[in-house]
């Protein structure tokens, strides 16, 4: 899966000295220009760890409720990982995350997915 370039006229990231600043990252597949909403839109390499968390069960009655926020959370965190790598960094170099939720109970799903990218202590985070 290619995350592609931004779909508007802005930089996905900019290096200033030793720092890299990232633009807001959304879960939109640049190839389809649509929001990611299913597990099938993620690479198999992402689905396996999600199954380990109890997601991507293959049961429509369960997955239909969890898939959008779980898939979007993985997509956004993977894009952040890729941008950091493109600039010579890792997820350990990310010092702050700001998450915006339209439905705050979705934070629990995001938090579990974030643990795949930060098995230890995550960066400073703000939830709005």
Q: What percent of the chain has pLDDT over 90?
A: 85
Report whether pLDDT(3) > 60: no
Q: For residue 7, what pLDDT is reported? A: 61
Report whether pLDDT(87) > 90: yes
Query: Between β-strands 96-99 and 19-22, what pairing exists: parallel, antiparallel or unpaired?
Result: unpaired
> Per the domain annotation, does 74 fall within a domain?
yes
The band of 12, judged by pLDDT with boundaries at 50, 70 and 90, is confident
User: Tell me: the pLDDT tens digits for 18-70?
Assistant: 999 999 999 998 888 899 999 999 999 999 999 999 999 999 988 999 999 99
First-residue to last-residue Cα distance in the chain: 29
> Per the domain annotation, does 91 fall within a domain?
yes
Report whether pLDDT(4) > 60: no
> Per the domain annotation, does 87 fall within a domain?
yes
14: which residues sit within 8 A by CB, 6+ positions away?
20, 21
Name the CA dihedral angle for 127, 1, 28, 49, rounded to a multiple of 10 degrees.
-30
Number of structural domains the chain divides into: 1
Q: What percent of the chain has pLDDT over 70?
A: 94
> Per the domain annotation, does 6 fall within a domain?
no
* pTM assigned to the model: 0.90
> Per the domain annotation, does 65 fall within a domain?
yes
> Per the domain annotation, does 60 fall within a domain?
yes
In this prediction, residues 94-106 reach a mean pLDDT of 96
């Amino acid at each position: 899966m290619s995350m592609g370039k931004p779909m508007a006229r802005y930089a996905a990231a900019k290096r200033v000295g030793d720092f890299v600043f990232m633009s807001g990252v959304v879960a939109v597949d640049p190839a389809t220009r649509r929001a990611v909403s299913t597990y099938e839109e993620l690479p198999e390499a992402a689905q396996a760890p999600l199954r380990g968390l109890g997601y991507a069960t293959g049961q429509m009655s369960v997955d239909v409720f969890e898939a959008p926020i779980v898939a979007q959370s993985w997509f956004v965190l993977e894009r952040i990982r890729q941008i950091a790598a493109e600039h010579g960094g890792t997820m350990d170099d990310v010092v702050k995350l700001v998450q915006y939720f339209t439905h705050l109970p979705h934070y629990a799903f995001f938090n579990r997915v974030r643990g795949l990218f930060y098995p230890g202590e995550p960066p400073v985070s703000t939830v709005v």
